[in-house]
Structure 1
Amino acid sequence: MPKSKPSIYDRYMPALYAEPTDQPAYWFVFLADTGKLLLNEQEGLAALPVATQVEELSFTPIRSLYLGTLEGAPCYTAEAPEETKAPNGYDFLPLRPLYDRLDEDLFHLAGRALQILNWDDTHRFCGRCGTTLALADRDRAKVCPNCGLSHYPRLSPAVITAILKDGKILLAHAPHFPDNMYGLIAGFAEPGETLEDCVRRETMEEVGIELGEIRYFGSQQWPFPHSLMIGFVAEYAGGEIAVDGEEIEHADWFGPGELPNIPPKVSIARKIIDWYTEEYGNRS
């Protein structure tokens, strides 16, 4: 199964409230309504802007939130107004393509920062009584001062599955995939079902086949906008491929040496397919 990957917690310590300090902080600054991240051309941690106050970066934020410490220094996320111009030497860049440029743990931390900003924006008022929400004291949550309802950051669990049969992997093409790309069967978990239930349901709905053993592979946060992708490897048990024609246009079995265009390395789908290729490509 997969090799261990860097954790965001190797260098980052989450916290809700900042201790008073004049120490410069790292800032994950996102441009409003675009999800673009402010970076310079340096590598790794040095690509992030550093400032004691975010106003030193020549804009007044719509919102800013403390994230904790990064390499021992304070760490914040902030949303810049849509008309904000990047400071000299910096640019606002789409987050998704930055996977190959940022360290993997920094990419995941940037995803966390973006999701927390989105949550703060969309949870300003109580969904039960409409009262303005306040930040909770002990959790990353907001609490209604009127009715007491707690509002946590939204997280949507989704399964993604490699289905194996006689040494081949099932790959599927969805209508929205660019460049004739093929990926894995995936879908969001529904209330009342386990993750394994979800794997079986999505597979039956999208390609009409039954599964045998299901094994956990790994997980990946996916902040576009608030998913948690949970990967599995499953054994084929029966049935013929019958695509639904909506979620999936075409699906087929592929061997390690005959793969079509597959997802980029940013995704857990690619990690699972790369594992399959390495594992089964060496078998005679």
Structure 2
Amino acid sequence: MFRPDNLAPARPEQALAIAFQQGELISDLRSAQGCLLPLDLIGEAAWIVIREQFLGYWHEQACYALEIDPAIDLDPMRFTRGNLYQILGQQEDAVFNLVGRAAQLLAWEKEHQFCGSCGRPTELDSAERAMRCRHCRSFNYPRISPCIIVLVTRGEELLLARNTNFPYEMYSTLAGFIEAGETPEETLIREVREEVSLEVCNIRYFRSQSWPFPNQLMLGFFADYAGGDIVCDLTEIADAQWFHYRDLPTVPPAHSVAGQLIRHQVALLTQQHT
């Protein structure tokens, strides 16, 4: 479906574009493909492209990520702008992943226009996905921030927490960034201990997910409760509780790895009790 590639074709035919303006995704109301725009449309609409990344091939069509000039007025009767959260669950996972890749690469190029070592301007390397400094010959590659996300269980109960930044009463699994020198398992133990003062054991890997908010790689795990009482770090966790699997609060959607962890565990417990 999607084939990544760093080298753009010389003369792309029937190419596609994923376009952003001021960080917001542009969708075509007249098209069933929504945010997958024909590249020819960019020229026809006279949009000025200020940043471009070749992504690879979507169903063997060359696909580009574009950032257009913020001064351009979009036709409100045809185009809409929105953030990536708005297409989460509205598009198939493969499309969401492709759009997330586009957003991350454009942001990475924008944030690495100058060399971090010598301060000189950088440029896109022609051979690989990198920003190159001709002066000191250093390279910067797209940034990925690995995180753990874990569902802690205690028999038929699930540990769920409400982050202080959640906009509404949703409870989710615990998560945290992997620090330098840590393994994912060490991070998991540390994060659970820091955020809710609990100890865990029997750590099992579940699955991973690219999460472009802004550039995380989420590594999903299950872990069993091993001891302690819940004491929340109130700078990050507004509330944390044990919930019976048959009486859960509002939880993340199934399109997120947090939602998948919760639903997988509920399905497993339900099967055990039928």
Please give the TM-score of this superposition, normalised by the length of structure 2: 0.93
Post-superposition Cα deviations, 1:160-193, rounded to whole Å, max 9, x if no partner, equal 1000111211001122212211111111110011
Superposition deviation, residue 145 in structure 1:
0.9
Q: For structure 1, which runs of at least 5 residues remain unmatched after alignment? A: 1-10
Q: For structure 2, which runs of at least 5 residues remain unmatched after alignment? A: none
1:6 aligned partner: none
2:66 aligned partner: 78
1:21 aligned partner: 11
Q: 1:167 aligns with which of 156, 169, 183?
A: 156
Distance between the aligned counterparts of 1:253 and 1:171, measured in 2? 6
Superposition deviation, residue 199 in structure 1:
0.3
SS across alignment from 1:92: strand
Distance between the aligned counterparts of 2:199 and 2:12, measured in 1? 60
1:245 aligned partner: 234
Distance between the aligned counterparts of 1:165 and 1:171, measured in 2? 11
Distance between the aligned counterparts of 1:53 and 1:169, measured in 2? 49
In the alignment, is residue 66 of structure 1 matched against residue 54 of structure 2? yes
1:113 aligned partner: 102
Superposition deviation, residue 260 in structure 1:
0.7
> Do the aligned partners of 2:149 and 2:174 also contact (CA within 8 Å) in 1?
yes
Superposed, 1:21-170 pairs within 5 Å as: 21=11, 23-32=13-22, 34-40=23-29, 42-43=31-32, 45=33, 47-52=35-40, 54-87=42-75, 89-170=78-159
SS across alignment from 2:126: coil
RMSD, aligned α-carbons: 1.7
Distance between the aligned counterparts of 1:81 and 1:270, measured in 2? 36
Post-superposition Cα deviations, 1:240-261, rounded to whole Å, max 9, x if no partner, equal 1111121112111111211011
Superposition deviation, residue 269 in structure 1:
0.8
Q: 1:218 aligns with which of 194, 207, 211?
A: 207
Q: Structure 1 residues 218, 171: CA separation in 2 closer, same or farther (over 3 Å shift)?
A: same
Aligned residues: 272
Please give the TM-score of this superposition, normalised by the length of structure 1: 0.90
Superposition deviation, residue 211 in structure 1:
0.8
Superposition deviation, residue 36 in structure 1:
2.5
Superposition deviation, residue 53 in structure 1:
7.0
Q: 1:260 aligns with which of 233, 249, 253?
A: 249
Distance between the aligned counterparts of 1:239 and 1:22, measured in 2? 60
Q: Which amino acid aligns with 2:64?
A: Y
Q: Which amino acid aligns with 2:58?
A: L
Superposition deviation, residue 276 in structure 1:
1.3
**Identity, % of aligned positions:** 34
Distance between the aligned counterparts of 2:81 and 2:258, measured in 1? 27
> Do the aligned partners of 1:29 and 1:78 also contact (CA within 8 Å) in 2?
yes
> Do the aligned partners of 2:207 and 2:219 also contact (CA within 8 Å) in 1?
yes
Superposition deviation, residue 132 in structure 1:
1.3
1:277 aligned partner: 266
